[in-house]
């Protein structure tokens, strides 16, 4: 089980901030493909991966990152702090 | 080195005074404060700031650790707010303390550049005519390359 978190407009498109996902996905990209196959709202949120960033266990990562042993994956748009 | 992520308003003057107090080796304190700016067209009702609890603190602490490794700094402070803020409200502040001003200025700019695009905050502008997520600017990403 992996906790999947969504922030900003990704959260708005999906409709909630967090869910637990039962998955055997090997990488973040595989997890995205599984989610997109579920419902149109995931398709809408993940339509353009270049517009998204991903954090794996709270560290900025990439879509080819492996998921073995990972507890938390978060998807969000480029950050706008400061 | 400290990080505070909070919804509460902070007092820039009081924070700066507390940060500067009683530091024998410090010859320079630099502070930067980010303020909620109205849209060019006006009419901003509020700025909503979302963040990623847990990762935010880790990411900022990592950026501060890097600043302390790169410049001769005695201390640093980052305060960043989240929640609904009004026009003119302080959003965040950075303070650096160093023996000399060159290190204090450079480290403060470095911290700001990294906070803009590597700390997990997202800003949404809310107005009577609608709400819009603030888009990241290419210039902010480019700013990281100089470091």
Residues 7 through 66 of chain A touching chain B, CB cutoff 8 Å: 7-9, 11, 55, 58-60
For residue B9, the model assigns a pLDDT of 97
How far apart, in whole angstroms, are the C-alpha atoms of residue B66 and residue B61? 9
For residue A66, give how far its alpha carbon lies from the nearest alpha carbon of chain B (Å): 19
pLDDT band at A1 (very low <50, low <70, confident <90, very high): very high
Give the chain A residue nearest B35 (alpha carbons): A82
Say if CB B56 and CB A78 are below 8 A apart: no
For residue B57, the model assigns a pLDDT of 96
Give the chain A residue nearest B140 (alpha carbons): A80
The tens digit of pLDDT for each residue in B27-74 reads 999 999 999 999 999 999 999 999 999 999 999 999 999 999 999 999
Name all domains of chain B by residue range, CATH numbers in brackets: 2-146 (3.90.1170.40)
First to last CA, chain B: 20
Is residue B7 pLDDT above 90, yes or no?
yes
B4 touches chain A (CB under 8 A): no
Give the chain B residue nearest A5 (alpha carbons): B52
Interchain proximity B118–A79, CB inside 8 Å: yes
How far apart, in whole angstroms, are the C-alpha atoms of residue B23 and residue B122? 35
* Mutation target among B56, B61, B121 for the A interface, most CBs of A within 10 A: B121
ipTM above threshold 0.90: yes
Interchain proximity B58–A59, CB inside 8 Å: yes
Of all residues in chain A, the percent with pLDDT exceeding 70 is: 100
How far apart, in whole angstroms, are the C-alpha atoms of residue A23 and residue A67? 10
> Contacts of residue B59 in chain A, CB cutoff 8 Å?
60
Return the bridge partners of A60, or none.
Answer: A55
Is residue B138 pLDDT above 90, yes or no?
no
Name all domains of chain A by residue range, CATH numbers in brackets: 2-76 (3.10.20.30)
For residue B141, the model assigns a pLDDT of 87
> Contacts of residue B123 in chain A, CB cutoff 8 Å?
80-81
How far apart, in whole angstroms, are the C-alpha atoms of residue A60 and residue B122? 15
Average the pLDDT over B142-147 and give the result: 89
* Mutation target among B32, B33, B48, B55 for the A interface, most CBs of A within 10 A: B55
Residues 30 through 89 of chain B touching chain A, CB cutoff 8 Å: 34, 50, 52, 54-55, 58-59, 80
* Mean pLDDT computed over every residue of chain B: 96
B147 touches chain A (CB under 8 A): no
pLDDT band at B25 (very low <50, low <70, confident <90, very high): very high
How far apart, in whole angstroms, are the C-alpha atoms of residue B95 and residue B10? 13
């Amino acid at each position: 089980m992996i906790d999947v978190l969504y922030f900003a407009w990704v959260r708005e498109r999906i409709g909630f901030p967090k869910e637990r996902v039962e998955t055997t996905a090997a990488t973040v990209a595989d997890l995205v493909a599984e989610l997109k196959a579920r419902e149109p709202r995931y398709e809408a949120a993940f339509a353009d991966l270049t517009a998204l960033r991903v954090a794996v266990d709270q560290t900025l990562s990439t879509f080819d990152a492996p998921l073995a042993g990972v507890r938390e994956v978060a998807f969000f748009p480029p950050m706008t702090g400061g | 080195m400290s990080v505070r992520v909070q919804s509460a308003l902070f007092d820039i003057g009081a924070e700066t005074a507390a940060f500067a107090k009683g530091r024998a080796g410090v010859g320079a304190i630099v502070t930067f404060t980010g303020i909620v700016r109205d849209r060019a067209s006006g009419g901003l009702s509020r700025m909503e700031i979302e963040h990623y609890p847990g990762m935010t603190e880790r990411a900022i602490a990592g950026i501060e650790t890097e600043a302390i490794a790169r410049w001769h700094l005695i201390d640093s402070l980052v305060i960043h707010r989240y929640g609904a803020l009004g026009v003119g409200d302080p959003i965040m502040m950075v303070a650096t303390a160093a023996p000399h001003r060159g290190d204090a200025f450079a480290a403060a700019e470095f911290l700001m550049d990294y906070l803009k695009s590597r700390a997990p905050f997202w800003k949404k502008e809310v107005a009577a005519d609608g709400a819009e997520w603030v888009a990241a600017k290419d210039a902010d990403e480019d700013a990281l390359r100089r470091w």
